[in-house]
Every structure is written in structure tokens, then in C-alpha cells.
Amino acid sequence: MMQQLNTFKLPKNFRGRNAFVVQLWRYVSKVVQFDLGHSFFYNQPVTKLILGRKSANS
């Protein structure tokens, strides 16, 4: 069944309605913690991929 538009609610973890500054703050705080996200192509954390390439080049 289709939900009626007036009763549709976004999930609590939906971040699309946040102000640009809030999204920027979340991004910067994750980068500072070396959390660069997850690679869908390699199915691994991006930080692990970068550190793996660095050690392979050394």
C-alpha cells in the first residue's frame, strides 16, 4: 500500500535537512579522526586503503 504524503515521515538518521555548516562540521570532525568513509568499490574503509598504498610504496 502507498503511504499518503501527509503521513510520510523521514527516518531519524536522515541528514538531508541539515544546514550546510552542520554538514561541514560533521565532515571535518570525521576527517580529523581519520574517518574518510567506506569504499563501495573495494568494500573497505578508505583510510585502510590509503595506508595500505603508502606502505606498499615505501
pLDDT at 28: 92
Low-confidence ranges of the chain (pLDDT < 50): 1
pLDDT at 34: 87
pLDDT at 1: 47
Residue 26's contacts (CB-CB under 8 Å, 6 or more residues apart) are 15
Mark residue 17 as left, alpha or beta (left: phi above 0; alpha: psi -120 to 50; beta: remaining): alpha
Residue 10's contacts (CB-CB under 8 Å, 6 or more residues apart) are 16, 17
